[in-house]
Amino acid sequence: QAYSDYHDMMRHCESIFERCALAVHGSTQFEFEGTTIDVKAPWPRLTMLEAIEQFAGISFMTLSDEEVQALLVAKGWHLDGSFSRGRAMQLIFEESCESQLVQPTFITDYPKESSPLCKQHRQNPELIERFEAYVMGWEVANAYSELNDPIRQRQLMEEQVERGRGGEAETHPLDEDFLRAMEYGMPPMGGIGIGMDRMVMLLTGQNNIRDVILFPTLRPEQFGE
């Protein structure tokens, strides 16, 4: 959506879930595996650092790099590729917080290493304006204030390519077509991806995603047997 940001996308996301729940159940509250979920807007908003402190009892910003690395070793949490403080922060969140996010919650302000497509946070250059929405410990949406500076975008994509050469698994190749399109002109905008399959699972009480995918992947037929 042009001329919007990740705050607009949060309002967009919670509104969609609220209206879908009302359409299916006549209420923003419904049961999922014995837990009452309430998707009524507005949903709580926690920064990733706040979530780590609240759910894991870890004051991340007070830890040195050496203490962060020692914590990962002590917990048995493996960081692929070379160490970076931001990637360690995201790993700690994923391992210690995600499963505790039962009621709808937005986790905001991710480390800059987590995505090359997102705008730098307007107050903290080490963070980006990204959020993920969680329900029942599942990630149900991912959104950004979209980066629209082609020079900065190229720099970030090149850095990610280098990190991939260093052994980091979740990296992507440099996309020249995307960069060229951005150079022609891209307005400020917010973008969101919502996990519609997981939304349907929640609203219909299904605990297996294969039961709600319209065209599930099937095994190839074996001929000649």
Number of helices (H), then strands (E), in the chain = 7, 7
Burial class, 92, CB count within 10 angstroms (exposed 0-12 / middle 13-18 / buried 19+): buried
Contacting residues for 6 by C-beta, under 8 A, at least 6 apart? 108, 129, 130, 131, 143, 144, 145, 190
Res 223: pLDDT: 57
- Please tell me the predicted confidence (pLDDT) of residue 89: 97
Q: What pLDDT is recorded for position 224?
A: 54
CB 203 within 8 A of CB 29: no
Rounded to whole angstroms, the Cα distance separating 91 from 69 reads: 11
DSSP-derived secondary structure letter, 189: B
Return the amino acid letter for 57. G
pLDDT at 169 over 90: no
DSSP class of residue 43? P
The mean pLDDT value for 122-143 works out to: 97
User: What is the dihedral sign for C-alpha 30, 27, 39, 194?
Assistant: positive
Q: Is the pLDDT of residue 123 over 80?
A: yes
- Bond into 104 cis (ω within 30): no
Cα separation, 65 vs 73, whole angstroms: 13
Q: What is the chain's mean pLDDT, rounded?
A: 92
What would you report as the CA-atom Rg of the chain, rounded to the nearest whole angstrom? 20
pLDDT at 220 over 80: no
pLDDT bracket for residue 166 (50, 70, 90) = low
Q: Which pLDDT score is estimated for 174?
A: 84
Of all residues in the chain, the percent with pLDDT exceeding 90 is: 78
Phi-psi region of 109 (alpha: psi -120 to 50; beta: other; left: phi over 0): left
Place 80 in a pLDDT band, splitting at 50, 70 and 90: confident
